[in-house]
Amino acid sequence: MDNWVQLFREPEPVAIIVLLLLLGSLVQGIRRGASGSARRLFFFVWEAAVIVVCLIVAGRLASALSPVVAEWLNGQVHIPSRELNVFEQAWFTLLTSLRDFALLRYGVLFLLGYLLLRALGAFVEPLLERAVEGILRSVKEEPIRGLPAKRSASRVAGALIGTAHGAGRSFVFVALLFVYVSLMPSGWYADKISNSPLYTETASWLAPVAGDVLEGQGPVLAEAVQAQFQQILQRKYEIIDYAIPAEIEQAALYVTQDALTKEDKARKLYDWLGSRIAYDWDKADNYVQQGIWKEQTPTETFDTRKGVCIDIARLYAMMARSAGLEVRVVTGMGADGRGGYGPHAWNEVQIGDGDAGWIPLDATWASSGDWFNPPRFEETHIREA
């Protein structure tokens, strides 16, 4: 009991908000009386139950439908081999991201499923509301005798019900804070929330129920979301570069004309770019020292014969696709030769079946050694996802 008294002796934001929720619900209860407060409390509980059920069902549906949708999109999405306008680029970026990125696909399916279930629940709620109104109206008060006393009793009962309603609202509020702090322990104001005595008291009740599920998932989930977001941003390059200019296609076919295998093709393209595309130090210095970034297309890299890592990786990907190879641009961190790492981009190309058939290569670093699928490539290249 002393703990609860102490909570309000030294007010802090969480306790103040909870106190306002309790007082607001108490005042509402007094104004509405017993029947009005009972109706509001019933629908508060009903709404909470519907939300929980919809969240659970939406999660199950998203898990079940995600692989089905991925397979369907894999067979349906075909990017036109022509220059795409801005809207087409955005549309195909969305479709291919939904096809390839499981976390994004699950999130979209979960949201759509939840909204659909809530919409279906909205059809049931008016029927339930009419039934509750009918029950409440059937409890008739005597018209004259004892009317003031009945009103007073109704207000007292309303106050009690309103307080219970406020307690429910407060518990939901603190539960949301608990989820926020558990998933994002380094998030905005999370440390202040954790130091709140009221939050600590309530979290001790929630932890046995949800703590094991949420504990430690915040950083992992945040990293996964950030990594997939970077992949989606990276996907725009693939969509933009899908239309292959004739001169680049002809060059790629010429370079790989004598190659007998996919690995031979990938190696010949690596050698060609590594020996003909110079690193653009001026562009890199402008970005590092002045924050000026010049976006350039693979065509510009091909014509000028210079570019930074992302430019070379994009040109390699375009030429590899021209030669019939499956290829992707990878972004992450590359070793700087001084014991540190800096932003970098390279490629992965598929020369065999399945995930094991993908090999890494770094045409940007070709002048410093053989970076075509070398041993321990991952020690110098750390991918974002």
Distance CA 358, CA 266 (A): 11
* Single-letter amino acid, residue 64: A
Sign of the CA dihedral 359, 363, 365, 367?
positive
Distance CA 351, CA 254 (A): 19
At residue 218, the pLDDT reads 44
Q: pLDDT tens digits for 284-338?
A: 888 878 888 888 889 999 999 999 999 999 999 999 999 999 898 888 889 877 8
Which neighbouring-strand residues pair with 306? 278
Q: For 190, what's the count of Cα atoms within 13 Å in the CB-facing half-sphere?
A: 12
Which two tokens mark 385?
Answer: 């996802």
CATH 3.10.620.30 in the chain, residues?
244-383
Phi-psi region of 344 (alpha: psi -120 to 50; beta: other; left: phi over 0): beta
At residue 180, the pLDDT reads 67
Among 95-104, 148-157, 191-200, 369-378, the least confident range: 148-157
Which two tokens mark 216?
Answer: 């430690």
CATH number, domain 244-383: 3.10.620.30
What b-and-e string marks burial along 133-163, b requiring 16 or more CB atoms within 10 Å of the CB?
Answer: eeeeeeeeeeeeeeeeeeeeebbebbbebbb
Which percentage of the chain shows pLDDT scores above 70? 64
Confidence label for 134 from pLDDT (cuts 50, 70 and 90): low
Among 128-142, 153-167, 249-263, the least confident range: 128-142
Question: How large is the average pLDDT for residues 22-46?
Answer: 64
- Tell me which residue of 223, 225, 237, 226 sits closest to 345, measured CA to CA: 237
Alpha carbon of residue 175 to chain centroid: 21
Report pTM: 0.53
Distance CA 282, CA 301 (A): 14
Question: How large is the average pLDDT for residues 150-160?
Answer: 64
Q: Is the separation of the CB atoms in 41 and 159 below 8 Å?
A: no
Q: Where are the alpha helices (DSSP H) in the chain?
A: 2-9, 13-76, 86-100, 102-138, 147-183, 190-194, 197-206, 212-214, 217-240, 246-255, 262-276, 281-290, 298-304, 309-322
Distance CA 322, CA 210 (A): 51
- Tell me which residue of 295, 360, 296 sits closest to 327, measured CA to CA: 360
Starting at the edge strand found earlier in the chain, the sheet holding 358-361 runs 358-361, 341-350, 327-335, 381-383
Q: pLDDT tens digits for 39-92?
A: 666 666 666 677 767 777 888 888 899 889 988 988 888 777 677 777 877 788
